[in-house]
Amino acid sequence: MTKNFLIITEGERTEINILEAVLKKYGFKVSQSKQIKIPDNVDNFVFENTFELSKEEDKVIIAQGPRNRLSHFLKFIDKRSEDIDRCFGILENTFAGIFLVYDVDHTLKDELEKMFLKYQDESTGMLLLSSPCIEVLSDIERTDEIAVDRLREYKAERNVWFDKNFHKSTEKYIIDNFEELVLYYLEKNCDETGSKNVMEHPCLLLPKINELNDRTYINDDYIPVVYRYFTTTVYVCIAYIKGLTKQIDNSDEVIKFFKNQKN
């Protein structure tokens, strides 16, 4: 029986391009959907199905989410919770796994915790965070804190550095070296959480993200952050889609898979 999987991303391009390139390399049929838009100006909620599902082979559909920041997405959910629940109920019946790939960004601690309470199951939606963003994969040796008013400042710095040193973008570097880079965080997260089940990593890492990253609320659009904890759990959706998480103790198998892909 064929399975369809859905990955909802925050960014317009970077996450989509990285995940599409990697999953295609791993043999999956991948397509991009239109941006998921859930209108807030209608009386009767209607979910517009823009997904072309496959009945012949496993397929991964990647779509940009209804908001481009996690905090905006959460406010949208709070405002129209019944409609969002109905939307994800429809998705649950359509997809074998649903993943939300988002940046920590300038999101307040309680907002992150609230999102995890709502989306912590791959069948109804599982939140996968990168701290501060997926570009952290290009920066695995960083130990000094990052203090920026806007996350795009950090992303711009990374792109300038890679263009100067490798004459390529951060995104292209991550795609070209994905296995080596994701293994660093996968093994680090296994050690820090003490869990051999990668499906537990997102929830277990949240307290450390919230403990070590400082946020200062000024207004809804301006929350300065000092990032001291760098991580990503983007490997979780790939491991699940590849069928590597059927056993509870699955980290060794997931690590073996990425090492084999590197060779």
Average pLDDT, the chain: 89
Dihedral Cα 53, 56, 60, 64, nearest 10 deg: -20
**pLDDT tier for residue 40 given thresholds of 50, 70 and 90:** low
HSE at residue 234, side-chain half, CA atoms within 13 A, is 35
pLDDT of residue 14: 93
User: Between these two residues, 199 and 34, which has the higher pLDDT value?
Assistant: 199
Taking a C-beta distance cutoff of 8 angstroms, is the pair 91, 6 a contact?
A: yes
Share of the chain above pLDDT 90, in %: 63
Domain count across the chain: 1
pLDDT of residue 38: 64
pLDDT of residue 35: 78
Neighbours of 65 (CB within 10 A): 22
Tokens of 196: 């051999």
pLDDT of residue 60: 95
Q: Give percent helix, percent strand, percent coil of the chain, each to the nearest 5.
A: 45, 15, 35
pLDDT tens-place string over residues 175-203: 999 999 999 999 999 999 999 999 999 99
pLDDT of residue 48: 55
pLDDT tens-place string over residues 137-172: 999 998 899 998 888 899 999 999 999 998 899 999
Nearest Cα to Cα of residue 133 among 153, 155, 115, 112: 155
Beta partners for residue 23, in sequence order: none
User: Between these two residues, 15 and 67, which has the higher pLDDT value?
Assistant: 15
Q: Domain range for residue 89? A: 4-262
Residue 257 above 80 pLDDT?
Answer: yes
Look at the block and give the residue holding tokens 């070590």: 212
pLDDT of residue 73: 80
For 154-190, letters b (16+ CB in 10 Å) and e give bbeebbeebeeeeeebbbbbbbeebbebbbebbeebb
State the average pLDDT over residues 37-53: 59
User: Between these two residues, 78 and 163, which has the higher pLDDT value?
Assistant: 163
For 129-147, letters b (16+ CB in 10 Å) and e give bbbbbbbbbbbbeeeeebe
Residue 46 above 70 pLDDT?
Answer: no
